[in-house]
Amino acid sequence: MARERAGARPLELTGFRADVVAGLSRPQKSLPPKYFYDAAGSRLFARICRLPEYYVTRAELALTRRHLAAIARFAGRGCQLIEYGSGEGIKSRLLVRALRPSVYVPIDISEDALRAAASGLAREFPWLHIVPVAGDFSRPIDIPLRRGTPSVVYFPGSTIGNLTPEEAHAFLSMSRGVAAKMIVGVDLKKDPAALHAAYNDKAGVTAAFNLNLLSRINRELGADFDLRRFRHYAFYNPAAGRIEMHLVALGSHTVRLGRHRFQFAEGETIHTENSYKYSPEEFAGLATEAGFRGTKLWTDRRGLFAVFGLSA
C-alpha cells in the first residue's frame, strides 16, 4: 500500500470513484462511511453531536471531564498526542489542557474540519505545537514523531464503532505499533430504543448527514442521484450489536455515474454505515486480542459510554 506524507493530498480522494463504483456494484449495495465527511458532512456531524437524542458526545464529554485527572495520569504529561478522526476536536481541548503534550497530531480525512479545528486550538493554546495530518487512517500514515518522547494515541467519539470488529482489531494492532498507550472512546450496548432515537432524530439531521453522501457523489463524481427517491433508514441489529444506516430506494429507477448504470428496485437499500456497540467485556477482549495487556476503564454515571486506557 502506498504511504501518505503529512500534508500530501489524501490518496482516498483518488479512490473515491473506484470505491463508489465497487460498492454500488455489490448485491447488497454499500458505500464506505469515511466518505460522509466532506465539508458539508463534517458540518452536519457537528450538528448531530448537539442533538438531544445523540447522547454519545455529551456522555463522553461528561466522563472525560469527570475522570480527566486519572486519564491524564494514565497518559502522562508532555507526551506526543496523536488523535485519529479528530473532527471538531471538542474533547481534544480537555486532553490538551490536562496533558500539555509536547506535540499534538490531529489526523482527519476531512481537510476542512481539520484546518478549522487546528486553528481554533492554536488560538486557544498558543504554546501548543500542532502538526495536522490530512489522511485516511485505514491506510498507513507517516506520522512525524520524535524518538525518545512517549506517544499516546487518542481515538474518541466511538469512531472505532464504525469499523467491523475485524477492522477494529487491525486498527488497534496498528495503533499499538504507533504508541504504547491508547485512549479510546467506545459506545456501550444499551436499550435499543435509546439507540434507535439517537440515529433517528426528530429534526432530521442524521437523515441529512446520510443523504449528503449521495449529494457528494453527484457534486464530485457527476452522478445523477435524485435525493427525493431515497430515504434515511437506521435501526439497531441486536444479533450483530450494531446500528445500521441505509438509504432506501423509493420506487425502481436507474442512477448514472459516467458510463456506469446502477439499477435500484423498490425498497432496495445502500448500506452506508455500521455503528457497533460493545459491552465493556467485549471491548476489553478485543483489545487483549490486539495485543494490549493493560486495560483501564472509565464510564459516565449512567453507563452509556466508556473510555478505555490501553497499554501495550
Q: Which residues bind ligand SAH (CB under 6 A)?
A: 34, 37, 42, 45, 49, 57, 85-87, 90-91, 107-110, 113, 136-138, 156-157, 159
The answer to whether 83 contacts ligand AVI (rule: CB under 6 A) is no
The answer to whether 161 contacts ligand AVI (rule: CB under 6 A) is yes
Q: How far is CA 22 from each of CA 17, 28, 245, 290, 296, rounded to the nearest angstrom?
A: 9, 11, 19, 29, 40
Concatenating the DSSP letter of every residue in 222-262 gives -----GGGEEEEEEEETTTTEEEEEEEESS-EEEEETTEEE
Interface stretch with ligand AVI, choices 109-117, 126-134, 151-159, 249-257 (CB under 6 A): 151-159
- β-strands 181-187, 305-311: how paired? antiparallel
DSSP state of 201: -
Residue 87 or 249: the one with the smaller Cβ distance to ligand SAH is 87
81 binds, among ligand AVI, ligand SAH, none (CB under 5 to 8 A by kind): none
Which one of 162, 175, 212, 299 is in contact with ligand AVI (CB under 6 A)? 162
275 binds, among ligand SAH, ligand AVI, none (CB under 5 to 8 A by kind): ligand AVI
CB 41 within 8 A of CB 217: no
| Residue found by looking up cell 437523515 in the block | 207
106 binds, among ligand AVI, ligand SAH, none (CB under 5 to 8 A by kind): none
Kindly report each contact of residues 298-301 with a partner whose C-beta sits within 8 Å and lies 24 or more positions away, as own/partner: 298/63, 298/66, 298/67, 298/70, 298/71, 299/63, 299/188, 300/59, 300/60, 300/62, 300/63, 300/66, 301/62, 301/66
Residue 6 or 61: the one with the smaller Cβ distance to ligand AVI is 61
To the nearest whole angstrom, how small is the minimum distance from the Cβ of residue 197 to ligand SAH?
19
- Give the side-chain half-sphere CA count within 13 A for 76: 15
What dihedral angle (degrees, nearest 10) is formed by the CA atoms of 99, 86, 237, 269?
Answer: 180
- Closest residue to ligand SAH in the complex (CB): 157
The answer to whether 157 contacts ligand AVI (rule: CB under 6 A) is yes
Crossing angle, helix 92-99 and helix 68-75, to 10 degrees? 60
Distance CA 73, CA 76 (A): 5
Interface stretch with ligand AVI, choices 8-16, 95-103, 158-166, 298-306 (CB under 6 A): 158-166
To the nearest whole angstrom, how small is the minimum distance from the Cβ of residue 83 to ligand AVI?
13
Residue 10 or 156: the one with the smaller Cβ distance to ligand AVI is 156
Number of amino acids touching ligand AVI (CB under 6 A): 12
The answer to whether 188 contacts ligand AVI (rule: CB under 6 A) is no
Residue 197 or 312: the one with the smaller Cβ distance to ligand AVI is 197
CB 164 within 8 A of CB 274: yes
86 binds, among ligand SAH, ligand AVI, none (CB under 5 to 8 A by kind): ligand SAH
Positions that interact with ligand AVI (CB under 6 A)? 48, 56, 157-159, 161-162, 199, 206, 209, 273, 275
